């Protein structure tokens, strides 16, 4: 028994090391550039793939292996520099979420490039020369390579510490982390600093990936798996804090190692639960500091007006078409149109808290998915009819909104967004691991509409009515006293409080409203597809919602609708026409971020000569 | 007395920022709170409106103890305020800013199905007319001139029929002519509506021209109080302001 615990503890330490490598790069990049680099997981994956190519291509032996690992990390470092110079440098002034969107575009592109170059199959790397065997640790056999990995974490921490405390460059990095504007005012070459920081961060991610080679197979799912964990580590440790990241990586590694022994059912939930608890107790992470200096007030938000007449007429025209044309369309078109209606509501629900509320959510899919599961579980366990299922959907999502929202709206900015991500991952893990209730990965099948709505056209009209109705109600709410109060809290919390408004309760209620709306979308989606899977709550779906809102433009009223139309259509076409649709989608996202920073609706509005 | 403050104290670490300050403001009276930088004006102010919790002492509004109450609750009891750096809602029009204060006053904040456009618009225009901003009612607050923003803030502060107005440096950042106009407006509104006004101010011309009474703070303590003429003649005040006092070796 004791030996067992020891082995678990040691393997927890080994995972902690690789996690720390990735997280340290992420946290350093965030500290200096304030960019939440979603593509960091992709750099990690690239590191692993490149190491596989180099190590298997180079002659066997120490030089081949270690040279390959180091070479892979260096190449990834250069890739990081390219990303910084070609993309991010152009958008440092853009809103935080646009930078996030851009890095997600990179994620999509890297996924398809990796697929193109290395193929879909898992790749197995060779063992590390000289560390192939196992050794006895307190009379327990333990792989040597794991012991080596355990030592890598602290060694890298010490090296980074020396780098940051003993070199001029490191001092500048620390100064920039503490107060970026001040460093700029002192005449430091920020461009050089940012580029080199990106090199270091990418190098560390690449090294983390490359060192995984002897441990596990290299595959295309590595990027999102590791980025979620790295986010957790960085947030628990405190954004920008290296020792914090190290501590959090240790904590998480051990939690996962022992979690398997103690709570095998909820290992996936565990990490995110820890993060949620830490953020509630210490809103800036274990060793993080509240951002002390905020010189520049946020950008002044433009006047929010109802869409101009022409746009509204166009909208009603589109709706008339959406009602009149479908009887003449085939099943495939009806399915696509139903999905567009659902996505429009999903996007509008996220926009409600992001635009007027100023709260970004990285985990909005949780409420979409919980709506879908709310309906599907009633079908599965109680054979409930569709009408009841569609009622249960917003209720389930709203309830989650009440609970999760209570935590999330206490925080702000990146921390709040991370907490929403954590809750979404908790919901996802529950759906994935609680097989008895949810069917796990196999999902819930047979979620079909009632007889009267089983025909594709009828169901399309039902979906259109529900989703358009709810979307229009959300539009209305934006210009209601409540919508204004929400915006008031975003524009000036000081003034809002000074005129008697309870910002917490207002944001909380908005969060619940958005969850309810997303739940309706999820419920309709469940019946449209006839089945519900954990992927409905996974990160990519949350990102879908973010993409739709950002493509449409956050600070416009018609934005989410335009965004949902454009994105769902584009997505569908790309998936149909191209094997490598991610590559194209990623390219389109980058183009949009670089050329239309106000989103599509914002760009159209500007072209029309409006403010 | 509309506002009565008794023995207010606040320390940050070892520094006694406010050390036993007592003062009172009557309805319709303009009381200026002045003192050199670091005298404790802002700390004192922030304790009155609930942003800071005092270490000791009491704040009474019309006899009711409001010490340490949250700002939004203090507002509900009839305290309007303006900020040193104006705080308005930039993504709304001037009228909508005032409407929001009225909506909150009527406890209609959580109405998410109605339209704000129908809520309290005439009353908002009335308030804007009082401060001379009705012509700009449809402009965005984000694009207004600074002096105009100060007027909008005053209209917002008047939305809940306040008994007391707390104005932190009401004329900071304004041109001299605008300063006089704004303070005359404030004085008129206060006297007509029997509203007590407590304001801090750096501009001594404004203070001596418009305050009914003046309270002078120095290093957390109240050193003088009285009519403008008396305060102007007070040797201790002169020492503090002219820097001739030997007690001020270290600038605040």
Domain end marker among A504, A539, A574 = A539
CA distance B115 to B56: 45
Count CB pairs under 8 A between chains A and B.
Answer: 116
- For B163: left if phi > 0, alpha if psi spans -120 to 50, otherwise beta; the answer is alpha
Whole-number pLDDT of residue B243:
63
Whole-number pLDDT of residue A293:
42
Is the predicted pLDDT of residue A22 greater than 70, yes or no?
yes
Is the predicted pLDDT of residue A556 greater than 90, yes or no?
no
B72 and A497 in contact by Cβ < 8 A? yes
Whole-number pLDDT of residue A297:
44
User: Within this chain, do residues A277 and A348 fall inside the same structural domain, yes or no?
Assistant: no
Of the pLDDT bands very low, low, confident and very high (cuts 50, 70, 90), residue B248 is very low
pLDDT tens by residue, A349-402: 999 999 899 888 889 999 999 999 999 999 888 888 898 999 999 999 999 999
Of the pLDDT bands very low, low, confident and very high (cuts 50, 70, 90), residue A291 is low
Question: Which of A300, A491, A501 lies nearest to residue B109, judging by beta carbons?
Answer: A501
On whether residue B68 sits in a domain, the answer given is yes
User: Within this chain, do residues A529 and A414 fall inside the same structural domain, yes or no?
Assistant: yes
pLDDT tens by residue, B71-87: 999 999 999 989 888 88
B100 and A304 in contact by Cβ < 8 A? no
On whether residue A559 sits in a domain, the answer given is no
User: Within this chain, do residues A243 and A389 fall inside the same structural domain, yes or no?
Assistant: no
The boundaries of the domain holding residue B45 are 3-78+162-242
User: Within this chain, do residues A117 and A207 fall inside the same structural domain, yes or no?
Assistant: yes
Q: Give the domain CATH number at A187.
A: 1.10.3470
Is the predicted pLDDT of residue B41 greater than 80, yes or no?
yes
User: Within this chain, do residues A22 and A150 fall inside the same structural domain, yes or no?
Assistant: yes
A282's tokens: 């210490």
B225: exposed, middle or buried (C-beta count within 10 Å: 0-12, 13-18, 19+)? middle
Q: Minimal CA–CA distance to A397: which of A417, A419, A377, A418? A: A377
Whole-number pLDDT of residue A543:
85
On whether residue B95 sits in a domain, the answer given is no
On whether residue B23 sits in a domain, the answer given is yes
Whole-number pLDDT of residue A35:
84
How many domains are there within chain A? 2
Q: Which residue of A has its CA nearest to B109?
A: A482
On whether residue A456 sits in a domain, the answer given is yes
Domain end marker among A521, A539, A557 = A539
Complex prediction ipTM: 0.90
On whether residue A298 sits in a domain, the answer given is no
pLDDT tens by residue, A495-510: 999 899 999 999 999 9
How many domains are there within chain B? 1
On whether residue B56 sits in a domain, the answer given is yes
User: Within this chain, do residues A228 and A355 fall inside the same structural domain, yes or no?
Assistant: no
Taking residues A266-295, what's their average pLDDT?
73
On whether residue A594 sits in a domain, the answer given is no
Whole-number pLDDT of residue A422:
82
Q: Is A576 on the interface with B (CB under 8 A)?
A: no
On whether residue A581 sits in a domain, the answer given is no
On whether residue B177 sits in a domain, the answer given is yes
On whether residue A349 sits in a domain, the answer given is yes
Q: Give the domain CATH number at B19.
A: 3.40.50.300
With contact defined as beta carbons under 8 Å apart, do B80 and B49 qualify?
A: no
On whether residue B47 sits in a domain, the answer given is yes
- Within 10 A of A239 (CB to CB), how many other CB atoms are there? 25
Mean residue pLDDT of chain A comes to 86
| Bridge partners, A135 (sequence order) | A142
CA distance B146 to chain A (A): 15
Taking residues A447-472, what's their average pLDDT?
90
Residues in chain B closer than 8 A to A473 (CB atoms): 113
User: Within this chain, do residues A42 and A191 fall inside the same structural domain, yes or no?
Assistant: yes
Domain end marker among A507, A539, A571 = A539
User: Within this chain, do residues A271 and A198 fall inside the same structural domain, yes or no?
Assistant: yes
On whether residue B107 sits in a domain, the answer given is no
Is the predicted pLDDT of residue A43 greater than 90, yes or no?
yes
| Strand bridging mode B164-168 / B196-200 | parallel
Is the predicted pLDDT of residue A295 greater than 50, yes or no?
no
**pTM: predicted TM-score of the whole model, two decimal places:** 0.85
The boundaries of the domain holding residue A262 are 2-281
With contact defined as beta carbons under 8 Å apart, do A29 and A198 qualify?
A: yes
User: Within this chain, do residues A451 and A526 fall inside the same structural domain, yes or no?
Assistant: yes
On whether residue B64 sits in a domain, the answer given is yes
């Amino acid at each position: 028994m004791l030996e067992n615990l020891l082995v678990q503890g040691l393997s927890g330490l080994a995972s902690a090391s690789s996690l720390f490598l990735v997280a340290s790069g992420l946290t350093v990049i965030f500290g200096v550039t304030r960019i939440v680099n979603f593509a960091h997981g992709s750099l990690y994956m690239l590191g692993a793939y490149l190491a596989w190519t180099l190590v298997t291509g180079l002659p066997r032996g120490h030089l081949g292996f270690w040279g390959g690992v180091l070479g892979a990390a260096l190449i990834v470092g250069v890739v990081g520099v390219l990303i910084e110079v070609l993309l991010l440098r152009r958008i440092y002034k853009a809103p935080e979420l646009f930078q996030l969107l851009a890095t997600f575009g990179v994620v999509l592109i890297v996924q398809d490039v990796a697929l193109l170059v290395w193929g879909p199959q898992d790749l197995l790397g060779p063992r590390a020369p000289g560390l192939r065997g196992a050794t006895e640790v307190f009379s327990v056999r333990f792989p040597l390579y794991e012991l080596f990995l355990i030592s890598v974490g602290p060694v890298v921490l010490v090296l980074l510490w020396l780098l940051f405390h003993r070199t001029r460059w490191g001092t500048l990095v620390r100064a920039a982390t503490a107060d970026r504007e001040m460093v700029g005012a002192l005449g430091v070459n920020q461009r050089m600093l940012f580029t080199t920081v990106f090199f270091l961060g990418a190098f560390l991610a690449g090294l983390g990936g490359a060192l995984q080679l002897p441990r596990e197979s290299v595959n295309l799912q590595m990027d999102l798996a590791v980025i979620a964990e790295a986010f957790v580590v960085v947030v628990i440790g405190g954004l920008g804090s290296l020792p914090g990241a190290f501590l959090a990586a240790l904590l998480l590694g051990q939690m996962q190692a022992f979690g398997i022994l103690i709570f095998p059912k909820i290992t996936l939930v565990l990490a995110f639960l820890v993060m949620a608890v830490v953020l509630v107790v210490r809103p800036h992470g274990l060793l993080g500091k509240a951002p002390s200096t905020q010189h520049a007030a946020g950008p002044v938000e433009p006047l929010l007006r109802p869409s101009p007449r022409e746009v509204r007429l166009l909208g009603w025209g589109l709706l008339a078409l959406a009602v009149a044309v479908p009887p003449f369309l085939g099943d495939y078109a009806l399915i696509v149109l139903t999905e567009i209606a659902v996505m429009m509501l999903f996007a509008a629900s996220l926009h409600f808290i992001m635009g007027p509320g100023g709260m970004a959510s990285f985990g909005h899919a949780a409420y979409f998915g919980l709506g879908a599961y709310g309906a599907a579980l009633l079908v599965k366990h109680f054979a409930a009819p569709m009408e009841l299922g569609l009622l249960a959907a917003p209720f389930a999502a709203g309830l989650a909104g009440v609970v999760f929202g209570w935590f999330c709206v206490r925080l702000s900015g990146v921390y709040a967004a991370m907490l929403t991500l954590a809750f979404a991952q908790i919901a996802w893990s529950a759906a994935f691991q609680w097989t008895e209730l949810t069917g796990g990965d196999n999902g819930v099948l047979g979620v079909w509409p009632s007889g009267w709505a089983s025909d594709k056209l009828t169901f399309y009209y039902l979906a259109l009515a529900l989703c358009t109705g709810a979307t229009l109600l959300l539009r209305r709410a934006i210009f209601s006293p409540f919508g204004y109060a929400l915006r008031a809290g975003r524009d000036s919390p000081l003034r809002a409080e000074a005129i008697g408004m309870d910002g917490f309760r207002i944001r909380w209620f908005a969060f619940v409203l958005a969850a309810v709306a997303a739940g309706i979308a999820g419920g309709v989606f469940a019946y449209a597809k006839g089945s519900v899977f954990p992927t409905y709550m996974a990160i990519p779906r949350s990102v879908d919602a973010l993409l739709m809102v950002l493509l449409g433009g956050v600070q416009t009223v018609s934005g989410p609708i335009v965004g949902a139309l454009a994105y769902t259509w584009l997505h569908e076409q790309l998936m149909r026409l191209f094997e490598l649709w991610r590559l194209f989608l990623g390219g389109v996202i980058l183009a949009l971020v670089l050329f239309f920073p106000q989103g599509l609706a914002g760009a159209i509005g500007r072209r029309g000569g409006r403010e | 007395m509309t506002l009565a403050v008794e023995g207010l104290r606040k320390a940050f670490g070892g520094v006694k920022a406010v050390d036993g300050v007592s003062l009172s403001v009557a309805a319709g009276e303009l009381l200026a709170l002045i003192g050199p930088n670091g005298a404790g004006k802002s700390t004192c102010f922030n304790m009155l409106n609930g942003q800071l919790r005092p270490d000791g002492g009491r704040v009474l509004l019309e006899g009711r103890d409001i010490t340490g109450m949250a700002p939004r609750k203090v507002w509900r009891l009839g305290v309007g305020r303006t900020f040193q750096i104006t705080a308005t809602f930039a993504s709304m029009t001037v009228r909508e800013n005032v409407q929001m204060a009225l909506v909150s006053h009527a406890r209609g904040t959580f109405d998410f199905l109605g339209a704000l456009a129908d809520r309290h618009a005439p009353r908002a225009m009335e308030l804007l007319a009082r401060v001379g901003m009705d012509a700009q009612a449809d402009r965005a607050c984000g694009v207004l001139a600074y002096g105009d923003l100060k007027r909008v803030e005053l209209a917002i502060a008047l939305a809940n029929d306040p008994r007391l107005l707390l104005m932190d440096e009401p004329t900071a950042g304004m041109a001299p002519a605008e300063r006089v106009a704004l303070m005359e407006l404030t004085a008129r509104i206060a006297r007509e509506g029997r509203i007590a006004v407590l304001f801090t101010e750096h501009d001594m011309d404004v203070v001596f021209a418009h305050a009914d009474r003046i309270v002078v703070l120095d290093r957390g303590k109240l050193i003088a109080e009285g009519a403008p003429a008396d305060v102007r003649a007070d040797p201790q005040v002169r020492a503090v302001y002219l820097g001739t006092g030997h007690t001020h070796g270290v600038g605040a």
